[in-house]
Amino acid sequence: MKFRHLIWLRRTCQALFLAFFVFLVVETRLPPDAYFDYSLVSSEAKGIELSQPVSFFFHLDPLAWIASGISERRWIEGFGWAMALVVATFFLGRFFCGFICPLGTLNHMAGAFRPALKGKTLMAANQKKDDRKIKYFLLIAILVAAVLGMNYSGLLDPISTLFRSLALSVFPGIGIGLSTLFKGLAQSDIKLFNTIGYTAENLAAPVFGYGYKAFQTGLLIGALFLVILFLNRIKPRFWCRVLCPLGALLAVFSRYPILRLEKDESKCTHCGACVKSCQGAASCEPGIVWQNAECLACFNCQDSCREKALSFHFKWPMERAPGIDMGKRAFLGGVVTGLSVPLFGKLDGKMYKVSPPELIRPPGSLRESDFLARCQRCGLCMKVCPTNVIQPTWAEAGFEGFWTPVLVMTGGYCEYTCTLCGNVCPTGAIEKLSVKKKIQAPVRIGSAYLDRGRCLPWSGNGPCIVCEEHCPTSPKAIYLREESIAGADGKKVKVKLPFVDLKRCVGCGICENKCPVKGRPAIRVISAGESRSPENRILL
């Protein structure tokens, strides 16, 4: 292969990996055929697993692997691809950023679409600047926080950031818009529009979700994603140059490149074409030392040079590249921040006191300290959940648990035989359960309790057995007793009063979700009684 064709190889790889990433985002869901034969209460159910490797990009992510391993203080399984990427980066530099990273590809595309910077302003923006030290500051802060047991890598990791943005904001937003449009067409009296509406909805639903999926903080997640893309108008691949902690980690490992940029200063006319086209501000112009750690392997400099003064070659033996320009301030600032944030983040007491009643974690979640040490806040479990019950936290888990998964029963419920959240979790923060273990152990995520003042039978406002009807456990955790109570007119009426047997309740939340008393249901689930926490169990 001729080296001038490397830029086309890079573009092809970028397109393929971005398409693969989007495909995996779409496929992180309950399989469409399972919607029709998925058993609600069958204890003999085999269970449903995703055949696609939806966690592939996360297992390719060295930052997720290293941060999770340090914070958990143990070897995290499943990250063989990340180890291979680290080894390859030693010799090929930051090729992941140029060839594979889907967020990097989107930033590259956003920067190329009607760029705001041209000519001299673009050359000035592509010069070596101190702002790129920010990503090293963020990397140091993440790793130091991980030493203290807090894994914040998912907040800024590019794979987690992109998946969270697409799965919890972009796709649901598009889905709601399309669903509203198609339902409007389907309700039209014009047969053509009616047919188009039904057909289009059937085609779009498997991609963007069935019904109106919604996630709390979705607006914030989407706004941050748009800001990341907009920053490319200020500087090409702003995120990759200035903010990306994974890019900083790969820069640290890019020490012995065998793929090097060769400069022929005798041919160079210093036209600036290479500087304008450089995506990483890697000092590609002849006469200046090439910054291998900042090079994103885009090969634009070689492609844009008319005098052929630049060329990439494989060169042996290996030579150590210039050290990274981290700076003492970035290093010390990262250390101080990494020490301060976890310590100050514990001041709300939510990690060391009894868990807040509304903090209900997915079934199979580790103990809270271990869970926070592993969770990538990526949104995989939220995207795959068929009932939309798993949501990103806001304040339920305190500062330390921001954007980690929590179950909000008013929006959905934990399907009794579903174990998909543990099936897709890339770091094992949610244990991979079998249906048999989940049901027979059983795995409890909380306990239901009755608010008798709001319950229709208990308050004398009418008969209702909805919670008992929907309870999936066998025997049922909600049972009924027929008793006489005073009605609204003072007369005695016979009603069936619901009671909760805490020894049988698993906290699935279907009773709360289906309760006809909306807003604040008459039966609600709290985290007390969860299996994962000895301190939060109910001893009966």
Percent of the chain scored above 70 by pLDDT?
A: 91
* CA-to-CA separations, 369 to 117, 399, 415, 423, in angstroms, rounded: 46, 13, 26, 21
What kind and span of H or E run contains 275?
helix 273-277
Mean pLDDT of 237-242: 92
Q: Taking the model in full, what pTM does it have? A: 0.91
3-class SS letters over 457-468: HHHCCCCCCHHH
Task: Give me the chain's average pLDDT, please.
Answer: 87
Of 404, 369, 370, 375, residue with least CA distance to 390: 404
* Calpha distance 300→354 (Å, rounded): 56
What is residue 354's predicted lDDT score, i.e. its pLDDT?
Answer: 64
What is residue 540's predicted lDDT score, i.e. its pLDDT?
Answer: 66
H-helix segments, 189-272: 191-208, 218-230, 238, 245-253
Output 27 or 46, whichever has higher pLDDT.
27
Dmax over CA atoms of the chain, in Å, equals 104
Mean pLDDT of 488-501: 86
Q: Is the pLDDT of residue 350 over 90?
A: no
Q: Is the pLDDT of residue 495 over 50?
A: yes
User: Contact at 8 Å (CB) between 55 and 445?
Assistant: no
What is residue 462's predicted lDDT score, i.e. its pLDDT?
Answer: 85
Which of 102-106, 204-208, 349-353, 394-398 is the least confident region? 349-353
Mean pLDDT of 138-145: 95
- State how far Cα 336 lies from the chain centre: 27
What is residue 317's predicted lDDT score, i.e. its pLDDT?
Answer: 67
Residues 388-433: tens digit of each pLDDT: 999 999 888 888 889 999 999 999 999 998 999 999 999 999 999 9
Neighbours of 217 (CB within 10 A): 18
Residues 283-334: tens digit of each pLDDT: 888 888 888 888 888 888 888 888 888 888 887 766 676 777 788 888 899 9
What is residue 131's predicted lDDT score, i.e. its pLDDT?
Answer: 83
Q: Is the pLDDT of residue 265 over 70?
A: yes
Mean pLDDT of 235-259: 90
Range ranked top by mean pLDDT from 169-183, 188-202, 484-498: 169-183
Output 185 or 95, whichever has higher pLDDT.
95
Output 328 or 223, whichever has higher pLDDT.
223
Query: What's the pLDDT band for 42 if we cut at 50, 70, 90?
Result: very low
Q: Is the pLDDT of residue 43 over 60?
A: no
What is residue 378's predicted lDDT score, i.e. its pLDDT?
Answer: 94
- State how far Cα 229 lies from the chain centre: 18
Q: Is the pLDDT of residue 256 over 70?
A: yes
Output 171 or 316, whichever has higher pLDDT.
171
Which of 100-104, 349-353, 425-429, 492-496 is the least confident region? 349-353
Q: Is the pLDDT of residue 146 over 80?
A: yes
* Calpha distance 515→532 (Å, rounded): 27
What is residue 44's predicted lDDT score, i.e. its pLDDT?
Answer: 47
Range ranked top by mean pLDDT from 65-79, 244-258, 504-518: 504-518
| Lookup: tokens for 407 | 């179950």
What is residue 427's predicted lDDT score, i.e. its pLDDT?
Answer: 93
Angle at Cα 388 formed by Cα 39 and Cα 450, nearest 5°? 80
User: Contact at 8 Å (CB) between 219 and 97?
Assistant: no
What is residue 522's predicted lDDT score, i.e. its pLDDT?
Answer: 95
Mean pLDDT of 511-538: 91
Q: Is the pLDDT of residue 69 over 80?
A: yes
What is residue 424's predicted lDDT score, i.e. its pLDDT?
Answer: 93
Q: Is the pLDDT of residue 33 over 70?
A: no
